[in-house]
Amino acid sequence: VFEYAPAPESRSVVDIRGSYGLFVDGEFTGGHGEPFKSLNPADESVLAEIACADQADVDRAVRAARSAYDRVWGPMPGAERAKYLYRIARIV
């Protein structure tokens, strides 16, 4: 019996949580801005609530990114960085 795989846009192929925070300095945190709802364009049902950053959250994220670049990402050889980017691309 031949069975079709789920459509790529189907919610059955992904696990969507009810809410998502900001990822800053290696951990998830709530934002201090007004959260917003992500809607399914097909039926306008709410997919998830997304945290929104305020200026202080953005400043903290920029500081964390600069620190990570200086300590880890910048000194890392290009071939090693490519491995990480390839892994991320496959997940996306």
Q: Measure Cα distances from 88 to 8, 17, 61, 83 in Å.
A: 18, 20, 19, 9
**For 16-58, how does the pLDDT look when each residue is reduced to its tens digit (9 = 90+)?**
889 999 999 999 999 999 999 999 888 899 999 999 999 999 9
Model pTM?
0.70
Q: What is the pLDDT of residue 79?
A: 96
Which sequence spans correspond to the domains of the chain? 11-91
Contacts 24+ apart (CB under 8 A), 25-34: 25/60, 25/61, 25/64, 25/67, 25/68, 26/64, 29/57, 31/57, 32/56, 32/57, 33/57
**Rounded-to-integer distance, Cα 6 and Cα 43, Å:** 18
